[in-house]
Chain A
Amino acid sequence: KQEVTQIPAALSVPEGENLVLNCSFTDSAIYNLQWFRQDPGKGLTSLLLIQSSQREQTSGRLNASLDKSSGRSTLYIAASQPGDSATYLCAAWGYKLSFGAGTTVTVRA
């Protein structure tokens, strides 16, 4: 069974600092890895999807890397803003999406 772990569980940074969110998974036989954002009481918003053949994906201030061999993905958010405060979830796409518990980010103004 795929196990996905996200560290840290929570993170608080001052505005402008870069964020680094870590995700590890136990089964490297994945099709892709997806990062989501979840705001309190809301559904999931897809941020980035990295195909298994790719090493990274970028969208604006967001960059996600994937190292299948080591079972790791990292989400970088540059120059954080208070609006980036949310819970960030990674999910490994094997047969179905297996989610981590998330990292709750607070960006202080």
Chain B
Amino acid sequence: GAGVSQSPRYKVAKRGQDVALRCDPISGHVSLFWYQQALGQGPEFLTYFQNEAQLDKSGLPSDRFFAERPEGSVSTLKIQRTQQEDSAVYLCASSLAFVDGQIASSYNEQFFGPGTRLTVL
């Protein structure tokens, strides 16, 4: 089954280290989303891609966070100079399509990966 995959599943970093988290969306899915989930909380939106274009990065908590999707498929979320408050589960989701400003279609359903649990010591 070709679902959304993420790697690594677990990452432990020392404070100040840079980390890179990878997301492989479902093949053919145009839209890709990153979310951050703190312990005991619901996921919070970080950023959104439509193909290779990053259309919304308003949820990125600081300029230490950077995401890319250069070929419109695999995406990488990079966190520079990690801090303890960055410890969370990072979830990636993909969907077939999202049409901004239009009535929702059945293609908007988001499918989530298992997440990467980041622990910053």
> Could you say which residues of chain A place their CB within 8 Å of the CB of B100?
95
Q: Size range of the interface on B?
A: 20 to 34
| Interface residues contributed by chain A, number (CB under 8 Å) | 26
The residue that A97 contacts in the complex, of B33, B113, B115, with Cβ under 8 A, is B33
Instruction: Please name the residue on chain A nearest to B9 by beta carbon.
Output: A41
Q: Hey, which bits of chain A sit against chain B, CB under 8 A?
A: 4, 31-32, 34, 36, 41-46, 49, 51-53, 89, 91, 93, 95-102
**Cα–Cα, bound, A106→B103 (Å):** 37
Is the CB of B65 closer than 8 A to any CB of chain A? no
A selection of 9 A-B contacts at a CB cut-off of 8 Å is: A4-B42, A43-B115, A93-B104, A96-B45, A97-B35, A97-B43, A99-B35, A99-B42, A102-B42
User: A31-B104, A52-B103, A96-B48 in contact; A89/B42 too (CB < 8 A)?
Assistant: yes
Determine whether the beta carbon of A100 is less than 8 Å from that of B42.
Answer: yes
User: A98-B45, A101-B42 in contact; A43/B91 too (CB < 8 A)?
Assistant: yes
